[in-house]
Structure 1
């Protein structure tokens, strides 16, 4: 049983995990002075894999299922969890993690690409629990309140980040289907009573196959189903490839194969096949026979075909396809890594804002920026990005020094509308009909489908919607800011949500508030008009748009989504505090390993920690935790004002140096505060010691830069090695120990 004054700090992946080795000792030392215990739980991709196979490993290699433990904790009022960004694993990432763990001595089975036995199917099912967005639906037992802290917004206005210029003759555009896609085929119902639904495939000859029989729903729950017509998708992709070549712009596909872990890898695979039709006409059967899937991307295909008899011919066909097609947007032109190499490399919520911020450009194969055709197959939210692009083409780039803000209240509690609900997404096995049935056999929704179509169902609980509306009104009142529900009355799912929103708004005092309901593209245009006037507008969105908007607007406003305050007030009274996005984390790790320099910015961790202390102070009746929160907020303001975030290039302070300065300013604030004399006395000597040793500590931290660093693993670093790499200043370590 946790003590009331306990904070859970999560061990996750990549750069945020490495930063934890440096920052957590500071947190533990300072928190202890206020009687606050800090415990850790490993919810990394490697940790989730090992937990899934704990019964197959020897006792000394077994790890507990920390994610399940935290999921149970999130239902309790004493929950206080700080959640750092984690890998939402695509299949290639999952396979890479498995390989690393095997090399570290864990006797794990290989990932079964095409399971044919019961054992393979069980193995695949275990691995699938760690794939994609496995963490967020478990922990997010509340809705999302995400915004730029005043200190971050003030810093961005004082020191505006670079924005690429836009011109009215820009050819950059979004291409989307608009028909025969998930949005246009959607059906939605509100269930009357608690029930257990089933998903059934009815073949053309009447044969019924139950694909899932345990879809539990509660009274008032919104349940949707829809499908992507893959024949229409292939026609669309072929047309856009031709269009990009005709318009001489870069071709790029923007999906989310990490979060939408079943549907989007399939869509990505169709894009690979559409771009290289000759390759798959000639060698498709050979590739399939070898177990090589286009869903894993062009990079995996090229790597796997090296050992095939026709490997050289296949590589030549790929090269010819790149020559014959339009210019491809590149992830890394120096290494020849294209937009279609790895499904997890180009993630829509990170890639589209970055492109918009850079004059509507992506990098081409020649190493130069160029206009691009951004292909977003499903039309549900593609119009949002086109609206921003059109606004920039008409009015130029946004000015961070004057622009307003778009905070977000996101519907995500209890896995609400979670990316098409992975466990209810299927690639259709044969022509026929996909039905969603009630327990009494009533067909709630039905779609006529063809082999290979991608069908999916979603759930959104009534309790989650009620809480979402309450949070939107609370935020609008607290900040005196207009709030707009981004809901489209012509879309089936949104129609049901709009009815509930209008009903539940009646439960709250909205006098004097501006609360609107607009379709996403219209809501975006309204918010952009206000942004250019320096005005704020709360976007109140479903879960997918929450993910998109909380990257789009922060990247435009403050240069990154990693500096946001992300609070999840859990429905049962606890608190989940998220620390920002992790999209750039892989590149940061690569730089650390090659140069011993970590550019990861922990500002999001600073804000989350302060909010966590403040929350704990209230429910645990711990006034010292409130002192920690208040002084940390002021220290973070000093940190920003003195620009102590990691520098962009080697030679300046990196993540470790930024942690030192945060510790210094925090100790100074604690030593000088008047609310708790005993706490001030405890931190006085530390503040003096860190101030006097500033030059020495920075010198020790920077001295290690420039040489390779050994952390013992990418997905599961060696703890002792990582600790040595991330804590190279003996002077700082001794000062913290003295506290």
Structure 2
């Protein structure tokens, strides 16, 4: 029997799985395709790290490690749903929930001192931040909006805010003494083992990373951000926002960049509330209330301090004096600085641009915003879009072209592989990268508090990325732009490799360009305004940014993208879209029994997964599943069966019913496999006959609070009961 692995993840995608998986598993079984699940949720990853502390019933295997091995198997076929890339506050919240459920999970040691605490910290480090994606993504990314989604967006355009030429919205970035400006890069001449060390002013050598294996041709980079320069920059931006009368906001990636960006976020909190930390910083530190965890965590811990009310009043005074802070939830008083993982740059900046350069202020109204993105590596792409919109107005979804992406991410490529090589410097000195022979390859003079990091990009991943870019350009007959800046050390080495490896491919008739990111942004914007398509060929971080930026502007969301990762070993990883809105959807479900999560990304991933299975195993029935699912999804879009915007309309569960109906109808009428047609004809008829009853049953439950047994570790029985409330629909599926 052919097999597909379906990942068990977090939040709204997990809840949707309780409704969708019984449908797709039942349909697939008729074609000899088996679905298996693997738990890579945040809670599951935590549990897997502490088997010796748990009962036999509580223990689970390390599914992420298992899937990491499977990704190197040519037979791999994995559907990967969005998962939590945990910030420290999220990690702590998940631990607390598990402890309340009876799991003997230790507390997270923020400042480990004992050997046991250091052991616990090392285990938690395997869980937090971008723990999942670098393990599974053993191939490069091919991500684009399916033709059906683009057609729907053009026929049913999403709302776009108006842009004014005199908008005060702007991006603020350092431009010096940051990761971009301090970067050094080297291409390894042979296999080696590197060492990262800090040499103090007195000559004391502290090893930061003992062994860093590298391969011949691998690109190794190192850089740092000056803490002193960062603080001076942030002071200027707080004053600037106040003087210009705009909202102050910061946009980081505290989840994926799990070491560097929480530290930067802490600097922002301290800069905005400078008078408070100057007066009460020692009190907060003594109580382990870190600005890195955000204002919300500090507020929650003030009750334990004898002068907590006094400190709270000091925070309130700064907020009252301004500048006004951009808000995550104005009604609940949750600001941009409350939680480091609440405002993620790749989702927050496109959303701001889409609504006319605005964010929400404390008064609940939209306002122009100063978007602070400290590192200048990619901040320029957002300023370029803002400048374009000021000059030309908002983009028009009914006419605009598309910007698909080919992203370099295989084998932990680039910045997302830097977590275990990122350090907050303890003392003035020099950080250097040394090879096995003792030669210094990369070196930086640093001060206490600076953030230093190194990252790697393997030659095989780069070659595969170039090949994939040429393949996509050829198949789609679309110009492709390599977003590389010759003035950046890392990019200069990639450009040299591009010049070396591009002649290996047939590029006759292809339009290929190399442009710095801001230039590439303007080039792509000019083309999409004319209705033309342009492939962005980017590194790992820009892959993440671009596959939110352009889809949010083009089709209203990045959740509707087709995301395929052709694994370098020959298997396939099929991703289902972004999960940035997942937390809000869970909150609404718990409060109103209404889940607005759109599973369209899952539908696209499933069709691609079935097709890959058919091609690699020769299972013709799997190809029938792929073809009929693709047609059913087209009907789904044409009939506008995505979750509605308000209670009383179909939500995620109703959208699953309609997919099941249209898919069964397509299977029943297809002529390629008479056995499958006969198997699904009765189901198609029953679902059509009972449509009103099923929809009524699904809508009837809405409007009341529900108990799913936990946020990070929902109770499976409770979650399934909530997500499958139609007895009529459940009975019809059981008939398969």
Q: How far did residue 230 of structure 1 move?
A: 0.6
Given the alignment of the two structures, is residue 32 of structure 1 paired with residue 63 of structure 2, yes or no?
A: no
Residue 420 of structure 1: how far off its partner (Å): 5.7
CA contact (8 A) 1:196 1:213 kept: no
With normalisation by structure 1, the TM-score equals 0.99
Structure 2 residue aligned with 1:720: 717
- Residues 165-564 of structure 1 mapped to structure 2, 5 A cutoff: 165-419=162-416, 421-564=418-561
In the alignment, what sits opposite 2:73? 76
Following superposition, the deviation at residue 675 of structure 1 comes to 0.3
CA distance in 2, matches of 1:331, 1:161: 21
Within 5 Å, give how 1:663-682 maps onto structure 2: 663-682=660-679
- Say if 2:87 is the partner of 1:93: no
d(CA) in 1 for partners of 2:617, 2:49: 34
Q: Distance in 2 between matches of 1:7 and 1:506?
A: 37
Residue of structure 1 in register with 2:637 after alignment: 640
Q: CA deviation at 1:324?
A: 2.1
Of residues 673, 683, 687 in structure 1, which corresponds to 2:684? 687
Whether 1:577 aligns to 2:570 is no
Give the match's secondary structure for 2:414.
Answer: coil
Residue among 100, 105, 108 paired with 2:105: 108
The CA deviation at 1:323 is 1.6
CA contact (8 A) 1:355 1:361 kept: yes
Is the 8 Å Cα contact of residues 269 and 294 (structure 1) preserved in structure 2?
yes
Q: Name the CA distance, whole Å, in 1 between partners of 2:92 and 2:125.
A: 11
How far the C-alpha of 1:626 sits from its partner, in A, is: 0.1
- Structure 1 residues without counterparts, runs of 5 or longer: none
Q: Match for residue 595 of structure 1?
A: 592
Do the aligned partners of 2:134 and 2:417 also contact (CA within 8 Å) in 1? no
Other-structure match for 2:49: 52
Q: Structure 2: how far apart are the matches of 1:302 and 1:723?
A: 35
Q: CA contact under 8 A between 1:275 and 1:325: conserved in structure 2? A: no
- Matched residue SS, 1:539: strand
Please tell me whether the aligned partners of residues 480 and 534 of structure 2 are also in contact (alpha carbons under 8 angstroms).
yes
- Residues of 1 paired with 2:676 and 2:268: CA distance? 60
Task: Give, in angstroms, the shift of residue 56 of structure 1.
Answer: 2.1
Distance 2:632 2:105 in 1: 46
- Provide Cα deviations, 1:274-295, integer angstroms capped at 9, x if missing partner: 0011101111111111111100
Where in structure 2 are the equivalents of 1:123-138 lying within 5 Å? 123-138=120-135
**Is the counterpart of residue 729 in structure 1 residue 726 in structure 2?**
yes
Matched-pair contact (CA < 8 Å) for 1:412–1:418: no
SS in 2 for 1:604: helix
Whole-angstrom distance in 1 between the partners of 2:543 and 2:676: 40
Mapped partners of 2:405, 2:34: distance in 1: 31
- The equivalent of 2:601 in structure 1 is 604
For the residue of structure 1 that corresponds to 2:416, the secondary structure is coil
Distance 2:375 2:246 in 1: 21
Cα distance in structure 2, aligned partners of 1:392 and 1:582: 26
The answer to whether residue 646 in structure 2 is matched with residue 631 in structure 1 is no
Q: How does 1:148-159 map to 2 (within 5 A)?
A: 148-159=145-156
In the TM superposition, structure 1's runs of 4+ consecutive aligned residues that sit over 4 Å from their partners are none
How far does the alpha carbon of each residue in 1:523-568 deviate from its partner, in whole angstroms, 9 at most, with x for none? 0000000010000000000000000000000000000000000000
Structure 2 counterpart of 1:21: 18
Deviations 1:201-246 (A, max 9, x none): 0000000000111211000000000000010000000000000011
Report if the CA contact (8 A) 1:565-1:578 is conserved: yes
After TM superposition, give the deviation of residue 11 of structure 1 in Å: 0.3
> Is the 1:420–1:456 contact (alpha carbons within 8 Å) kept by the matching residues of 2?
no
Q: Which moved more, 1:538-547 or 1:414-423?
A: 414-423
In the alignment, the residues of structure 2 paired with residue 552 and residue 576 of structure 1 have an alpha-carbon distance, to the nearest angstrom, of 22
Cα displacement (A) at 1:701: 0.6
Within 2, Cα distance between the matches of 1:418 and 1:472?
20
Where do 5+ consecutive residues of structure 2 fail to align?
A: none
Q: Is it true that 1:654 corresponds to 2:651 in the alignment?
A: yes
1:92 Cα deviation after fit:
0.0
CA gap of 1:129–1:714, structure 2 versus 1, over 3 A, is same
Task: Determine helix, strand or coil for the equivalent of 2:151.
Answer: helix
The answer (yes or no) to whether the contact 1:187–1:225 under 8 Å persists in 2 is: yes
Measure, in 1, the Cα distance between the counterparts of 2:367 and 2:55: 54
Contact 2:87 2:258 in 1 (8 A): yes
Distance (Å, rounded) in 2 between the aligned partners of 1:424 and 1:210: 12
| C-alpha distance in 2 between matches for 1:418 and 1:581 | 19
Alpha-carbon contact 2:134-2:416 (below 8 Å) kept: no
Shift of 1:95: 0.1
Identify the range of structure 1 (669-678 vs 318-327) with the bigger mean alpha-carbon deviation: 318-327
Q: Is the 8 A contact 2:83 2:579 kept in 1?
A: yes
**Deviation, structure 1 residue 418:** 3.6
Task: Output one character per residue of 1:701-735: Cα deviation in whole Å (capped at 9) or x when no partner.
Answer: 11100011110000010000000000000111111
CA contact (8 A) 1:137 1:418 kept: no
TM-score (ref. length: structure 2) = 1.00
CA distance in structure 2 between the aligned counterparts of 1:307 and 1:473, rounded to whole angstroms = 59
CA contact (8 A) 1:142 1:569 kept: yes
Q: Give 1:59 shift.
A: 1.1
